[in-house]
Structures are given as structure tokens and as C-alpha cells.
Amino acid sequence: MITEDKGNIMIVGVGGQGTLLSSRILGSILLSSGYDVKLSEVHGMSQRGGSVVTYVRYNRGKVYSPIVDKGGADIVLSFEALEAARYAEYVAPDGVIVTNTQEINPMPVITGTASYPENIITDLRRAGFNVDAFDALSLANKAGSSKCVNLVLLGRLSRLFRFERSLWEKAIEETVPPKFLEINRRAFALGREA
């Protein structure tokens, strides 16, 4: 469980994986629970399959900076293994990395000018990081669509907070279009219970 007074969370992944939706659901829960909140997003060019990062900061007092800096993240929630490694230096000394084990090759790997590091999760643990790694893609497929990896990961993240489950479900209902609500609910449940 993370601290109740304030927190810094980074949600990282590959453009197109749906990181924004997770941060918005988390943001609405934090706001309705009485926190001051800042969520920073990056739009435009970086979204096109590039490395993307969203910052979520909350505080019982006031949140000033819109970003999380190196060594400051209580949680890095990563949608992809390589991205967990990329942003590892942002993790606070007692912070945690929650990551999908899915691997998506970046263009330099596809073109053969770089290689995808092997054993990222093991290396992160060996370097002293507290890592919760699991296969969110399989759970998303089990829920009905590879596209709801974001809700599976949000479900896993939700275990680190003391908020009632109903609060999460209400926030999902308010954020997700009705057409995709059922599948997203299932994905969240699979992530939370995994």
C-alpha cells in the first residue's frame, strides 16, 4: 500500500496502448477522494508509436509541479517491459514497478540497429527494484480484447490503493464508453484479482 497523504505515479508505455485512459480513471478517483491532482499528458507526435509517459501526482495539500522527476515515482506502472527499464531511474528508493511483461519492438530493433535487452525483469530485480511483473496481454485477451491491456494494468495498480473497489468501478463507468464497459470491467477484475 502506498502513502495516503501524497503520491507520484508514472504511467509509461508505447503510444497507442491506451495509457491516457488509465491515468484519467485514476485521476478522477483521486479527485473524488478529496486530493489535489495533476495529470500530465503528452499529445501529438510522441503518441505515434513512441515512448509515452503520463504523470499522476496527488496531495492532501497542493500539487505544484505537473511532472514526476528522477527518483520521485512511488509507482511506475509500465505497459511494456522495455519501457519499465527506460523509466526505472524515476522510481523512488522505496518505490515499486508494476509492469506488463509484453515486449513490443521499437524501430531500431526492427531495423536491426539495436537489440531488445534480454531478461529485463530479472535485471531490474537484480538492480534492487521492487518489481511486480505479469502478463497483462494474456489477461486482456481473456477479457475479450488485446486493446484492454490498460484496464488489466489499472486493476493490478488498484491493489496498491486503499480505495473501495466500487469507487474504481464507478470511475470506470464514468470514463469508458458504454459499448466497451463490460469488456473493460472484466479486464479490470482480471488485473485486480491476478
Question: Is residue 41 near other proteins by the rule CB under 8 A?
Answer: yes
Question: Is residue 86 near other proteins by the rule CB under 8 A?
Answer: yes
Question: Is residue 161 near other proteins by the rule CB under 8 A?
Answer: no
Q: How many CA atoms lie within 13 A of 41 on its CB side?
A: 12
Q: Where are the alpha helices (DSSP H) in 56-164?
A: 81-86, 107-110, 120-126, 136-143, 149-158
Question: Is residue 47 near other proteins by the rule CB under 8 A?
Answer: yes
Q: Where are the alpha helices (DSSP H) in 18-163?
A: 19-32, 81-86, 107-110, 120-126, 136-143, 149-158
Q: Which is nearer to other proteins, 128 or 178 (CB)?
A: 128
What pairing do the DSSP bridges indicate for beta strands 91-100 and 73-78? parallel
Site string for other proteins, 140-159 (x = CB under 8 A): ------x-------------
Question: Is residue 112 near other proteins by the rule CB under 8 A?
Answer: yes
Residues that bind other proteins (CB under 8 A): 14-16, 24, 27-28, 31, 36-51, 62-67, 69-72, 82-83, 85-86, 88-93, 104-117, 120, 123-124, 126-129, 137, 146
